[in-house]
């Protein structure tokens, strides 16, 4: 199976830099899983956009998948109370 390349937007990279500890390790593990399967069990398609959302505890990872280019672009990473604002 061909692997996808994962890219982070600048805003998502800044949000990732603000995290630490176990939360950071768990989110990085979820992002690495997206390389092998960009639509894992538990991901949800957001109705407003052509984006997907993946849960990791109280945090959410919002991303878009480009199948033709075999890329995943992480748009936002944040706590569930703040992510959709």
Q: Where are the domains of the chain?
A: 5-79
How much is the CA Rg of the chain, to the nearest whole Å?
Answer: 12
4-52 pLDDT, tens per residue? 999 999 999 999 999 989 999 999 999 999 999 999 998 999 877 789 9
The answer on pLDDT for 85 being more than 80 is: no
Contacts of 53 (CB under 8 A, 6+ apart): 43, 44, 45, 46, 60, 61, 62, 63
Q: Say which CATH architecture domain 5-79 belongs to.
A: 2-Layer Sandwich (3.30)
CA atoms within 13 A on the CB side of 36: 6
pTM exceeding 0.75: yes
Report how far residue 44's alpha carbon sits from residue 4's, in angstroms, rounded to the nearest whole number. Answer: 18
């Amino acid at each position: 199976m061909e692997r996808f390349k994962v890219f982070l937007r600048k805003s998502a990279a800044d949000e990732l830099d603000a995290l630490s500890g176990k939360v950071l390790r768990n989110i990085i593990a979820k992002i690495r899983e997206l390389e092998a399967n960009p639509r894992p069990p538990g991901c949800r398609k957001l109705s407003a956009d052509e984006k997907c959302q993946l849960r990791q505890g109280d945090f959410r990872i919002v991303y878009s998948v480009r199948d033709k280019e075999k890329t995943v672009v992480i748009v936002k990473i944040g706590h569930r109370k703040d992510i959709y604002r």
